[in-house]
Chains A and B, each alone.
Chain A
Amino acid sequence: MDQALINLLIFVALIILGWISYKFFGSREFLQGKLKRQKTLTEDILKQLYHVEESNRKPTLDHLAGALQLKRKKILLVVEQMTTSGLVSLNDNTITLTDEGRLYALRIVRVHRLWEKYLAEQTGHQPKDWHNLAEKMEHMLDEKETQRLESSLGNPMFDPHGDPIPNESGEVNPVVWTPLPSYAIGSPGKIIHIEDEPEVIYRQLLDKKIFVGSHIKVLKTDNNEVSFVCEGVEHQFSTIVAANIHVAELSENEMFEEHAVRLSALEYGETAEVIGLSEECRGASRRRLLDLGILPGTSIEVDLKSPLKDPVAYRVRNTSIALRKTMSDLILINKN
């Protein structure tokens, strides 16, 4: 009996040990050489500086230490090295990117956004994981591989969050957008960008199924809250959260779909006409839906609901096709 207890304890200890070593050795930093760690840190600092400068603020050491969650001393050490190699210049406490530094930073941003695009289009990774995976990958691709990636993705201009992707020579087309809380009440607009940092807010937006590309109309704005209609659903967000949604006016050749709702809102006995697929519907799923003939103008109705409610079978072009809610949320329809 004692032996059994000891065996069990050893087993539990082994599991804990395995878990710890996975956490410890699994983190890439431990496996990297010192040189590589240095490179990663340099690139992270450059990127951080670039983002801060883009938002017209003056980056300081404290700021960097806070953003990268590292000790001030360690950052200072790296920044000094970067100064000698001509990537940044350090005055008092503020750090500025040199032209060379900015170009380097843009290269990192470029890989990051291209990789996010790749993850969205060609893998099954969840949106909440895109950013962190791209954070790792951005230090790993060289210019040639980046170019190959770009052309294999069909030279995209925006990442899945709506951020513009810098081109090879480091040019970025500026995009004009307005944070949702300051967008004009009552005028139609389109979500063109959703900020993916901080993660807490981004996840909240993902949970509410707010997608880039959706048409919206602001109903009411005050100091604390913004309410708006998006694809037939009324949303209310606090100003802080809503400020992470960026909106622009529709272009000339786009029509505002005032009465558009998501297919998931269709009920038994109702018929509807498909308007199109949401921009959020990507890669294999998009192709599959097109293959099935879910195209603008197609009429569609609910055929059957499964006993556990999800999926729902829809009748399209004389066939019955079952879709999960995650898919039917990405199809826009006009109810007849």
Chain B
Amino acid sequence: MEKKDKNSIVDLASELRWKIGDNFHDKLTESLYTDASEIASQAIEMPGNERNYSLDRKIDRIVTSKRFGFPIMLGILALILWLTISGANVPSGLLFTLLIEITYPALKSLSESIGLIWWLDGLLIDGIYMAVAWVVSVMLPPMAIFFPLFTLLEDFGYLPRVAFNLDSLFRRAGAHGKQALTMSMGWGCNAAGVVATRIIDSPRERLIAIITNNFSLCNGRWPTQILIATIFIGSLVPSSFSGTVTSLSVIAIALLGVGFMFLTSWLLSRTVLKGEVSTFTLELPPYRPPRFWQTIYTSLIDRTLIVLWRAVLFAAPAGAVIWLVSNIHLGEITLANQLIEWINPFGLFLGLNGVILLAYIIAIPANEIIIPTILMLTVANLKLAGIGAGEGVMFELDSTLDTANILKAGGWTVLTGINLMLFSLLHNPCSTTIYTIYKETKSAKWTTVASILPVIMGFVVCFLVTQFWHLFA
């Protein structure tokens, strides 16, 4: 009898289930939300802000209009980049003088006076201190200018409108309109760009934005691009045009980065990331006057200092490695020269050289120290006397001509220059960024993809350019 009862209950339940229908859950949630909003609307009084709304509307009609939307956007972007690049020169120079031209010799003489063993002196001061000081002096000023400017725009409410204007382009590549913002942030610093992807609330599009952020030419790479373009490309044309040609070639590299960003987004969204959840909504918040000091403060603390701290943490051990490879001897030659000899054939095959590849391996913590490392390794490799600061000590020269002479002595041609510019765009993210990607995705798989994919692209692009160059030149 009891069993029969049980069965009849189960039967009734399954019968009712079919009667209620499949979208019962959806209907239930919908009615819960509706009730909640009704209760809320009864309980909450909204202060009238109609006047603000009409002003907002006027601004919106202009900044999202067909005629003015894109010019305004490009103008603001160009202004920010210009302010960052040209504005950072002075404080960068001051920091460089303070940390490297004044403090470094002082530390050296201090260690001499207390009689520090030569290798400890080298490892600590020439290696670790030098790398950290270098990263701080080159990295801090641009970030301290770029991030506050960016955050001010964000606070004003303009940035969501940029995402709104550009979403159509990003949609076609399978990405989110807000990726325009994280990409621009990447022009300041890729690690910060990766953190900024938190604003993208759709899992698939966020991963795409993280993996492709490295294609934004970051602050650390602009000076490399400008230097190499001046030496190898600007010199191809009469000197009255060289400035323009140099700028145009650097801009071309940055735009190529944007192209690779779109291409990679498109590929990722149609292959490996196809199954990730994707949704799109974009809130356009009301405009408001930016809170100036608060913005400056938070952007310095949250973005600049955190990124800088991570960079310093990674630069210190790298400085040690850079010094060690140049000072450990394997029989007759240093470890660095041995490594260069081994990877040189592969480097030349790609149209680069062993010095460049080794520099990209040991200077992984920051793109800022690539050129000093290349110079140091080249001088050490060629055993050029009288140039540089000693084995394992990074340096830079004031004169572009002297730099050009060292590189040309190292066997660099126009092709090497072009390839270095390409490889500087298309190579693994710096270790700070890699660590940040891992922190943000919590996935070894996506971190690996984000790190390896650009290097492979860089190898392929350099290889193709080199072969076609040989074919036609």
Contacts and interface: CB of A to CB of B under 8 A. Distances in A.
B467 A158 contact: no
B470 interface: yes
Contacts of A285: 279-280
Contacts, number: 146
Interface string B450-473: 000000000000011011111100
Contact of A322 (B21, B70, B276, B282): B282
Contact of A125 (B17, B26, B275): B275
Interface in B263-277: 274-277
B126 to A, nearest CB: 41
Interface string A281-316: 001111011101101111000011111111101000
Contacts of A324: 167, 171, 280
Main secondary structure of the interface of B (DSSP, over half): helix
B37 A295 contact: yes
A317 B34 CA distance: 13
Contact of B18 (A154, A157, A289): A157
Given A122-B277, A295-B34, A308 B169 contact: yes
B interface, how many residues as a size bin?
A: 35 or more
Contacts of A5: 467, 471
Interface stretch (B1-9, B61-69, B82-90, B399-407): B61-69
B169 to A, nearest CB: 7
B17 to A, nearest CB: 7
A173 interface: yes
A33 interface: no
Contacts of A296: 30, 34
A251 interface: yes
B279 A284 contact: yes
B33 A295 contact: yes
A310 B166 CA distance: 9
B156 interface: no
B165 interface: yes
Given A125-B275, A297-B34, A327-B280, A309 B204 contact: no
Most chain B CB inside 10 Å of its own CB: which residue of A157, A296, A298, A319: A157
Contacts of A303: 57, 60, 284
Given A313-B164, A320-B285, A323-B281, 18 more contacts: A1-B471, A4-B471, A5-B467, A8-B464, A123-B275, A126-B274, A158-B22, A284-B202, A288-B281, A290-B30, A293-B33, A296-B34, A311-B164, A311-B177, A319-B283, A319-B284, A320-B284, A321-B281
Interface of B: 14, 17-18, 21-23, 25-26, 29-30, 33-34, 37, 46, 49, 57, 60-61, 64-66, 69-70, 164-165, 167-169, 171, 177, 201-204, 274-285, 463-464, 466-471
26 contacts: A4-B466, A5-B471, A7-B463, A8-B471, A123-B277, A124-B204, A124-B276, A129-B274, A154-B25, A155-B17, A156-B22, A157-B21, A158-B22, A288-B201, A288-B281, A295-B30, A303-B60, A304-B284, A307-B65, A310-B168, A311-B282, A313-B164, A320-B284, A322-B282, A324-B171, A327-B280
6 closest A-B pairs by CB: A308-B168, A4-B470, A322-B282, A320-B284, A124-B278, A285-B279
Interface of A: 1, 3-5, 7-8, 11, 119, 122-126, 129, 154-158, 167, 173, 213, 251, 276-277, 279, 283-286, 288-290, 292-293, 295-298, 303-311, 313, 317-324, 326-327
